Amino acid sequence: MSTSSIVTGNPFLDALRLPTESVIPEENNQELTQEDFLTLLTQELSMQDPFKPVENDQMVQQLTSFSTADGINKLNDEIVGLNAIMTSSQALEASSLVGQKVLIPSDTGYISEQDSTLNSVVSTPEAINEITVRVEDANGALVTSYIVDGSAGGNIDLSWNGLDANGEAVAIGSYKIKASGRIDGESQELPVSTYAHVTSVSLGTADTGAILNLRGLGGIQMGDVLAVSES
């Protein structure tokens, strides 16, 4: 039996017994509020030297400084909440892209079981009679090549059927689309963008925004998408 539960009958001895339950003090918030500041300011005014009173401009400056700091803290909390709302809203908007194809600034595309065709876009600074397109595997080996008409200039649509130089279907995986053409008499590499299939959307952060997860290629920020195409 616990000694703290024994009653001796002596009021003095019974009063000396240890309490049966420990009392845990409540957590003390060390953050000063505007009410605390006004209390301190009132205390300061009541204890000031009557021959050297605090100037009105000093009081106003103290009140202004505290109000500004308090306002900044509240504004920061509101901004954090606003960022969370914007991030969720952007993710909801990006979810409409699931199942569609987006054009990304990369020359790497993905051949899958669901889609054996790789579409891309080559950008030309001027009209080019012939554009040589080369398809390379993940190791940089040439898979096939073909010629397209670039006389229209600007953005030229490309489409590779997923067949190698022997007419056989290539394995599932990533492939690079390279393009080159003669500009001012010299052969130059041309920038290529490829279409990728959006499989899902990640929420991301306030800095990154919504992330589009692409089949076989990883993720990309929604702001980096150049165009959207039907699936």
pLDDT in tens, 8-29: 555 655 555 555 555 555 555 5
Q: Is residue 24, in this structure, part of any structural domain at all?
A: no
> How confident is the model over 150-176, as a mean pLDDT?
94
Per-residue pLDDT, 175: 97
Sequence-distant (≥ 6) Cβ neighbours of residue 40 within 8 angstroms: none
Given this model, what pLDDT does residue 1 score?
A: 46
Give the lowest-confidence range in 28-32, 98-102, 125-129, 182-186: 28-32
Tell me, yes or no, whether 71 lies in a domain.
no
The whole-chain average pLDDT of the chain stands at 78
Q: Is residue 41 part of a domain?
A: no
* 35's tokens: 């009410």
55 CB-near residues (< 8 Å, 6+ apart): none
Per-position b or e across 6-35, b if 16+ CB within 10 A of its CB: eeeeeeeeeeeeeeeeeeeeeeeeeeeeee
Residue 107: give its domain's CATH number. 2.60.40.4070
Cβ-in-10-Å burial (0-12, 13-18, 19+) of 207 comes to exposed
Residue 210 has pLDDT above 70, yes or no: yes
pLDDT at 173 over 70: yes
Q: Is residue 199 part of a domain?
A: yes
Domain total of the chain: 1
Q: Which domain holds residue 126?
A: 96-229
State residue 4's pLDDT score.
Answer: 46
- pLDDT exceeding 70 applies to what percent of the chain? 57
Gap between the Cα atoms of 199 and 216, Å rounded = 10
pTM check: above 0.85: no
